[in-house]
Amino acid sequence: MAARQAAFRDLTGQFYTDILDDVQMLIDRGHDTIRLATDGHTIRVFLRRAADYLIGGTYDVPSGLGGTFRVILRDASDTHALVQNHGNCEDFDEMRPYRVLLDALIEIDDRRAA
């Protein structure tokens, strides 16, 4: 953190060092395992691993429409989950399985915003 601040001061964005502030915050909160994944020019922080999720379990995922879809987890990798809509209205359950970021899975009793 000190090296980043010395080198970049208050510059953000194009230097992609803002993620270090988020990582430091997670460390300060007491998380003992933090995983980073890169995809092109994006760095994502994952607190949970694929093994932390139950294959066949029911979760919510953001729908992209302002709400959530109820899904069944079909498979999971280090960064993504394969899910199938289940228990939703209209024809949403007829959608083919699709991939979402692993950290997009929301426990049913988790009250965080979508």
Q: pLDDT digit of tens for each residue in the chain (114 aa)?
A: 666 666 666 665 555 566 667 677 767 777 666 767 666 666 666 667 788 889 999 999 998 888 899 999 999 988 889 999 999 888 889 999 999 988 889 888 755 444
Pair 8, 17: CB distance under 8 Å = yes
pLDDT score for 15: 52
Q: What is the pTM of this model?
A: 0.60
What sections of 1-114 are H helices per DSSP? 2-8, 19-28
pLDDT score for 66: 85
pLDDT score for 75: 94
pLDDT score for 74: 96
Domain boundaries, the chain: 2-46, 50-104
pLDDT in tens, 7-33: 666 665 555 566 667 677 767 777 666
**How far, in Å, CA of 31 to CA of 51, rounded?**
17
For the beta carbon of residue 84, count every other beta carbon within 10 angstroms: 14
